[in-house]
Amino acid sequence: MTTEAPSEFNNLETLSTADLLAGMNQLDHTVPQTVARALPQIERLVEAAVARLGAGGRLFYIGAGTSGRLGVVDASECPPTFGVPAEMVVGIMAGGDGAIRVAVEGAEDDAEQAWRDLQTHNIGAGDVLVGIAASGRTPYVIGGLNAARAAGLATGCVVCNAGSAVAAAAEFPVEVVTGPEFITGSTRLKAGSAQKMVLNMLTTATFIRLGYVRGNKMVDMKLSNIKLVERGERMLMDELGIDEAEAAQLLQQYGSVRAALVARL
């Protein structure tokens, strides 16, 4: 497994802060190119997600450690960004929600638990399950994908090693082979960055395809704070050629950028 291969750097404790940062940055530059090589795989996963979510399905992530936390983060950002229901994209951690903050040792080794966790959400054949595992060998993820695929779900994964058991369990695998880490085996670094990029692509492209973006604007975003209200006002000003006062009045009247645009265009 290349994610476990020895770092290209050594004697890290002897390096200056400047050299440590330069070394990490040097390796980080390789991540976008690695993700680019996986674009055809990402495209297939997006198309599967568009088909299932467009028909009323949901997207679920499962993972452990950094991988699981990245799934939870991506899922939690979809409702405020795209205005979708919270249950439309769900991130599930091995060890439960408490493991988001404090590691639950051994939770990732239970190959049966992921499917039990998913069943609490009434998961079904119309849904999509994406397993996230840098190593590609996490039993929690493999077991969940195998059970989901047998139940008729669309299954994908994001892994950072080639030819892994997780990829073999998924119908739409995404393999982003990031190579050795700055600290040997610390996949919260390059592998984590690559996984975050892929998840961003997956949900962003999916919800654009499903109509949750107009032009290049998040017209369905939830107006949950001052910053987002002001962003909504700017969107209306740009789209309708109106001043700030009128934009504020429209936003207050209709409650969303999309509703205001539909009313005025």
| pLDDT tens digits along 118-143 | 999 999 999 999 999 999 999 999 99
Separation between Cα atoms, residue 160 and residue 132, nearest integer Å: 9
The per-residue pLDDT for 106 is: 81
Q: Whole-model pTM?
A: 0.94
Separation between Cα atoms, residue 182 and residue 219, nearest integer Å: 40
Confirm if 84 and 59 have CB atoms less than 8 A apart.
no
Dmax (CA) of the chain: 64
Q: Is the pLDDT of residue 93 over 80?
A: yes
Q: Is the pLDDT of residue 105 over 80?
A: no
Taking phi over 0 as left and psi of -120 to 50 as alpha, with beta for the rest, 177 belongs to beta
E strand spans, 165-264: 172-175
Q: Can you give the C-alpha Rg of the chain in angstroms?
A: 21
The residue from 108, 181, 233, 239 that is catalytic is 108
* Angle, helix 30-37 to helix 39-54, in steps of 10 degrees: 60
The residue from 43, 47, 77, 246 that is catalytic is 77
Q: What is the pLDDT of residues 191-247, one digit of tens each?
A: 999 999 999 999 999 999 999 999 999 999 999 899 999 999 999 999 999 999 999
Catalytic: 108?
A: yes
